[in-house]
A and B are shown apart, each in its own frame.
Chain A
């Protein structure tokens, strides 16, 4: 099993550009989530999904969209990137919301 995979590993955007961060898992996990990690702050939840077709907002959802058309994939979209979105992004999955979390390797995003 590949576990949780994320692409790309690194990305540089200009302000106003759009992009999609990809996340996939092959463990048949229902629960998937996106976090951002910033210096001096703990991981913060952006969006999460409890199953295909179901998504909800987390702590810091503004500027991000998600969809969950399949159990395996949970892409995160930045519609118009801003410098405040410079961060490291982690995708995670678990069997259920109260189970062990499995994290992807992260995507380091810089918005100029």
Chain B
């Protein structure tokens, strides 16, 4: 079993829909990262959080440390949101990030 599990693996939505991507992890962490990888391959950091909730534009990330679970929400989705969304956890025991396999999101017009 992977230390970081994302669901769903693939998600197709219509423009305007509310989207949720989930991330569960099994290790103790100091922080959780949400990353976005566009079709061209580049990876950008969306959020880094260790508790509660963060919001940036139409994106919202939440984390529940007790339940070892985080969600990434996209409101009013748009075709330009189509990308792979990756969850990664910073383990408390070491310095490395452990990554989920990613969620492929396609938003159709």
Chain B 1-32 interface mask (CB, 8 Å, partner A; 1/0): 01010000000000000000000000000110
**B90 at interface (Cβ–Cβ under 8 A)?**
yes
A90 to B37, CA, bound (A): 12
Query: A92 — nearest CB in chain B belongs to which residue?
Result: B43
Chain A residues near B63 (CB, 8 Å)? none
Known: A103-B43, A105-B42. A42 touches B30 (CB 8 A): no
Chain A residues near B31 (CB, 8 Å)? 98
With an 8 Å Cβ cutoff, the count of chain B residues facing the other chain is 23
Contact in complex: B98, A42 (CB < 8 Å): yes
**A40 at interface (Cβ–Cβ under 8 A)?**
yes
Chain B residues near A106 (CB, 8 Å)? 41-43
**A68 at interface (Cβ–Cβ under 8 A)?**
no
Interface of chain B: mostly helix, strand, loop or mixed: strand
Chain A residues near B41 (CB, 8 Å)? 88, 105-106, 108
Known: A88-B41, A98-B90, A105-B41. A42 touches B96 (CB 8 A): no
Q: Can you list 15 residue pairs at the A/B interface with Cβ under 8 Å?
A: A31-B95, A33-B96, A42-B86, A42-B101, A43-B97, A44-B99, A45-B96, A50-B95, A56-B95, A98-B30, A99-B48, A102-B45, A103-B45, A105-B41, A106-B41
Residues of A within 8 A of B (CB): 31, 33, 40-45, 48, 50, 56, 58-59, 88, 90, 92, 97-103, 105-106, 108
Residues of B within 8 A of A (CB): 2, 4, 30-31, 33, 35, 41-45, 48, 86, 88, 90, 95-102
